[in-house]
Chains A and B, each alone.
Chain A
């Protein structure tokens, strides 16, 4: 008997020790996790500052847009910082103080006069200015050490009505209980019994937060017990407002494809396309109602059910005295109010995502941990606005049902900065970032790498080297036979190298790729800045390997820059709270390919848009506006691509489906249109490089590629790397004038 009680005591002791250890563990877990989230201050991310100077290409409307997103207020007379007055083409404004990484700029009154789409004069207090930079737009806050996309809220940013409604529905005794609430559970049970269905849950806000942080969704009693213990511990360590803030940022409010929507801030953007502080009572009630079952009450999928749930919440709000009868009646009569694209405060999740990744890539972890960082980026809100409009207009026509997805990357190739980024059809929502993560076959977009490989061997290849476009079969290492076909299923016999690229002939390119060797083509890709590994298979020369739009942007960035490689970047400066610059991006060009060969490649890519598969761009652009680019279409029209550049911008556009089904679009009928629509308004400079040294121009015969002369029939002027021009000459048949041709055609 004595022995048995001894054993029981021992077992109890072991159990007590184990329970204590578990308690200590849970306590540590609760405090560290929550502490970390609570105390971090987000780094402030800024767009590029708008530089104003006489002669700058900028319209009064663009300038007004910039000022409106900077929050300038229109007034009758400008007397204080942040005010604005517009009189036709003249804008008066009072700038704000701003501390840039390199200087403190003081507020001052400024007058800007526009004329013919550019700044005509710029002055302050009657004195002409050469240059002025406006304070940059604050585009968001990010927690550099976290990986998630969240729009994190401070408690004071959350409307009081939403908090009251949330507590009324989810946890009425929140400010009284210690983490668990027996009365709450009883009350919930009673309400549910009376209503005949579940209108209230028994878990407190604290328990729900714990569940969101640490626990699985199973309903075992052990999980319930752990949840209760951890809730008590959380309450012990943190005050109510910290817990509430944590909850508002953590709660699960729906699913969009692969991404979960956590927090009211993001949910507000996702469902209503506006910030939480801009929501009406009816919209707040809908979000509060959704906490109970984000999928069940998803307003996009089940609008009727969501509306009923919203109205239930509104009635509770009235009953609790949060809104009066009139407000209740108005809110009940309102539609769901989902995602109206009016007057949105700017949010650019795709770009912020890239900033976050580049911070982690380029900066030391310990630096990022410091408080109050300011991150100055290359983001251009005006280009982004144009990109969003082009996506909306062109895809709206191509696909009114909204089934196609898209991505767009815009860089200024002179310095390698990413200026605008679209990650999907709904650019304001932080979903799957297709610009960075949609790794897809790129089709003919890869071809410039094949031709550049060839053109770097001027003793063997020039722009007029004849290539065979006959059918081709390649046996790969695993015994499979690869037989690429031309898009038109025809063979074109002997074609000159430049035409093979501009017409995007697959058979000729595959033959050329095999002649050069897969390894040399892969090496060129790397020299151009493509870091994602590509499969060592023959089909890679026709773009069978997967690349994301950002990878293609790196490749075309180098081509656009004349063969000079700069890593694509978004971050100009990171400044700590004391104003010290942590690290600046150095403008170190690297050149691993021949400038002369790139010049020849530019010639062929110009031909693509003038005579080849990319001719469609001139349905949008003025004829004398020089651009260069390449179309890409993958098997069964799954992906539609276009990449190209003007004299100031490089852009890559992609259209496809997330499920990889056919789009019915070629590069020319889809992505090209987005690209050209964007460039028409966004680009300000025509492509115009000085011809590099070591290039000679010759008139050659279009058919044979042999030397011809100016004025001979079928002669065109083609650049060659010095010493590589053809030596054989064709007899010159005098060219028939166009007018003669016209007369002959007449009869």
Chain B
């Protein structure tokens, strides 16, 4: 009995040094969890549509801008730039509440500079 306890203590002592404490699941997700299925970052496809939408907005063609942004969102729903441009579009159309809510939604997907730009839309 005593020898078993000693053995356990010795072995455990030896191994404790090389084992980190096991984190408890579920971990929070401040960073996207790694997964082989993740899509890559912003792609040319959605950025191209957003740029076209921006030009349409500046030209006053809000209908077209709206259609392009909805399409961009389907292509890449996690691109915060989509939400930013949508927010600017709604603000320009005078729908301030919609502009604020869409910017807020974009904050759930933003990173770096786009977070700051979205906050300015709130």
Contact = CB atoms under 8 A, between A and B. Distances in A.
Interface of A: 48, 51, 53-57, 101-102, 130-131, 412, 414-415, 561-562, 564, 572-573, 581, 584, 586-591, 595, 603, 606-607, 610-611, 622, 624-626, 647-648, 683-693, 697, 702, 710-711, 715-719, 735, 737-740, 743-744, 747
Contacts of A693: 107
Contacts of A130: 43-45, 48
B122 to A, nearest CB: 10
B35 to A, nearest CB: 4
Contact of B40 (A55, A101, A414, A622): A55
Contact of B109 (A588, A690, A697): A690
Nearest to B86: A587
A51 B45 contact: yes
A624 B32 CA distance: 10
A53 to B, nearest CB: 4
A595 B101 contact: no
A686 B40 contact: no
Contact of A131 (B30, B40, B48, B90): B48
A744 B73 CA distance: 54
A743 B11 contact: yes
Contact of A607 (B11, B26, B32, B105): B26
A591 B108 CA distance: 13
B33 A740 contact: no
Given A688-B32, A688-B33, A610 B101 contact: no
B110 interface: yes
A585 to B, nearest CB: 8
Give the secondary structure class of A's interface: loop
A605 to B, nearest CB: 10
B71 to A, nearest CB: 8
Contacts of B98: 586, 588-589
B75 A587 contact: no
Contacts of A647: 78
B28 A603 contact: yes
A691 B35 contact: no
B101 A590 contact: yes
Closest 3 pairs (CB-CB, A-B): A688-B32, A53-B45, A716-B24
B4 A747 contact: yes
A691 B67 contact: no
B94 interface: no
A223 to B, nearest CB: 55
Contacts of A711: 21
A738 B45 contact: no
A589 B105 contact: yes
A376 to B, nearest CB: 11
Contacts of B40: 55
